[in-house]
Amino acid sequence: MQENGAVKKVNEPYLVDALSFTEAESRIIEAIKPYISGEFSISAVKKTKIAEIFFNENGDRYYMVKVNFITLDEKSGMEKKSASFILVQASSFSDALDQFNEGMKGSAADFEIASIAETPLCDVFPLNAVPGKPSTL
């Protein structure tokens, strides 16, 4: 609802951890229903290739980190890079980099950051099968 009383239609992207499109739609409807007045609809549901999420309760934005994991091909002796996408909740670009590096501490894998970009996501709804453990999407 705008200040002049007119209803404004908006599109807001959300990330939902689900096993099917039907489950994703059902979960997001239940999650946002208390915050919406009037009619609403789900305009699209699609899969993502996010390997992991690093949550930070102080972050108010979500950043997509494209990371290349580097392995050595034993046959050719050449380095091989495989890209993964990790979503990082942070308050700024530099905080996203810090949160990513913190999340990768202890990793035995060699990696390089290919890119970090702020996403338009409004919120993330993980499926926490075990309370207190991070969810992966």
CB-based contacts of 94, cutoff 8 Å, min separation 6: none
Residues 90 and 48: their CA atoms lie apart, in Å, by: 20
- Whether residue 35 has pLDDT greater than 90: no
Task: Look at residue 8 in the predicted model and tell me its pLDDT.
Answer: 79
Task: Look at residue 135 in the predicted model and tell me its pLDDT.
Answer: 47
- Whether residue 45 has pLDDT greater than 50: yes
- Give me the amino acid identity at 3: E
pLDDT: is 55 or 37 the higher one?
55
pLDDT: is 102 or 9 the higher one?
102
- Whether residue 42 has pLDDT greater than 50: yes
Rg (CA), the chain: 18
How confident is the model over 108-133, as pLDDT tens digits?
Answer: 889 999 999 999 999 999 986 443 44
How confident is the model over 71-93, as pLDDT tens digits?
Answer: 988 888 899 999 999 999 999 99
63 burial via Cβ count (<10 Å: 0-12, 13-18, 19+): buried
